[in-house]
Amino acid sequence: MTTLFIATGNAHKVEEIRQVLGGSVTVLSQRDANVRLEVEETGATFRENSGIKAVTWAGYLAVDVCNLGADYVLADDSGLEVDALGGAPGVHSARFAALDDGRKGNSSDAENNAKLLRLLAGVPAGKRTARFRCVLSLTPILHGESPAAMAAATEFFDGTCEGRLLEAPSGAGGFGYDPLFIPEGYDRTFGELGPEVKNRLSHRARALVALRGRWGR
């Protein structure tokens, strides 16, 4: 069976990826493999950042002595685009609050949500439209090949999920902006709807279904 190494330290993302892919592939996380690598996300788009993460990890695992037996790296870059904010926070979703004081690293979900609500104060319900976007990158781990060769062999899978933002958080499920986001066609947030519903509708679920299609599963 194909083994994917998931290039994220976000345990929520790993869990969602596992749930959507089910038993069709073997999924290894950084925690399973006990490896860590900080990858700087210097790209301007989800696709660029997703590719940077996948190729950096593939380069590392292709030469690393601890042979994990993974065939591919799967990276996820994702975030929220808010129409009333011209598409922000976008690629800055994870460090949205930290941008204000030049802090390094990601902000807490609570800080990011508070900033988002502050910026949207007074924006009426009909104008609080937003979408989650996810780009998955699948990079083969080619032992003995250059990172450039692995970059050239990388495939991308996209998913989006349209919705709108509440004026206060609701629900304790999921992560990130989930307690504020109501997906189109529903009247409760991802934080309230639970993993079964989220993993049918989300940006990540949609990108994963496209990835599964690659193997005809």
Between residues 72 and 177, which has the closer beta carbon with respect to ligand IMP? 177
Cβ nearer to ligand IMP, comparing 21 with 80: 80
CB of 13 to ligand IMP, least distance (A): 7
DSSP state for residue 57 in the 8-state scheme: H
Cβ–Cβ < 8 Å for 205, 159: yes
Spot the catalytic one: 32, 76, 77, 101.
Answer: 77
> Cβ closer to ligand IMP: 114 or 149?
114
Which residue of this chain has its Cβ atom nearest to ligand IMP in the complex?
176
Q: Are 38 and 106 within 8 A, CB to CB?
A: no
Residue 111, SS3?
A: helix
The amino acid sitting at 156 is: F
Whether the CB-CB separation of 4 and 57 falls below 8 Å is answered with: no
Alpha-carbon distance of 196 to 112, in angstroms, equals: 25
State the minimum distance, in angstroms, from the CB of residue 86 to ligand IMP.
Answer: 17
- Rounded to an integer, what distance in angstroms lies between the CA atom of residue 12 and that of residue 6? 12
Q: Strand order in 181-183's β-sheet?
A: 26-29, 3-6, 72-82, 129-140, 155-165, 181-183
**Residue of 194, 200, 178, 210 lying closest to 112 (CA atoms):** 178
Quote the least distance from Cβ 146 to ligand IMP, whole Å: 26
Least distance to ligand IMP, CB of residue 198, Å:
7
What does the binding site for ligand IMP look like in residue numbers (CB under 6 A)?
10, 41, 76-80, 93-94, 112, 132, 174-178, 202, 204
Asked if 77 is an active-site residue, the reply is yes
Which residue lies nearer to ligand IMP by CB, 13 or 72? 13
Q: Where in the sequence numbering do the catalytic residues fall?
A: 77
